[in-house]
Amino acid sequence: MALPMRSRTKKRNVTVELPEELLRQAQHASGQGITETIREGLQILSARHAYAELPQYRGQVKFRHSGQALKAGR
State residue 24's pLDDT score: 98
| Residue 31 maps to a domain | yes
| Residue 13 maps to a domain | no
Instruction: Give the global pTM.
Output: 0.66
Mean pLDDT of 44-60: 91
| Residue 1 maps to a domain | no
- How sure is the predictor about 19, in pLDDT bands with cuts at 50, 70 and 90? very high
| Residue 63 maps to a domain | yes
Domain hosting residue 65, numbered range: 20-72
| Residue 60 maps to a domain | yes
Distances from the Cα of 29 to the Cαs of 11, 22, 24, 50, 57, in angstroms? 24, 11, 9, 23, 33
DSSP 15-35: -----HHHHHHHHHHHTS-HH
**8 Å CB contact between 43 and 2:** yes
| Residue 41 maps to a domain | yes
Query: Which range, of 5-9, 10-14, 47-51, 66-70, averages the lowest pLDDT?
Result: 5-9
| Residue 68 maps to a domain | yes
> What total of structural domains would you count in the chain?
1
**8 Å CB contact between 57 and 50:** no
Instruction: Read off the DSSP letter of residue 55.
Output: G
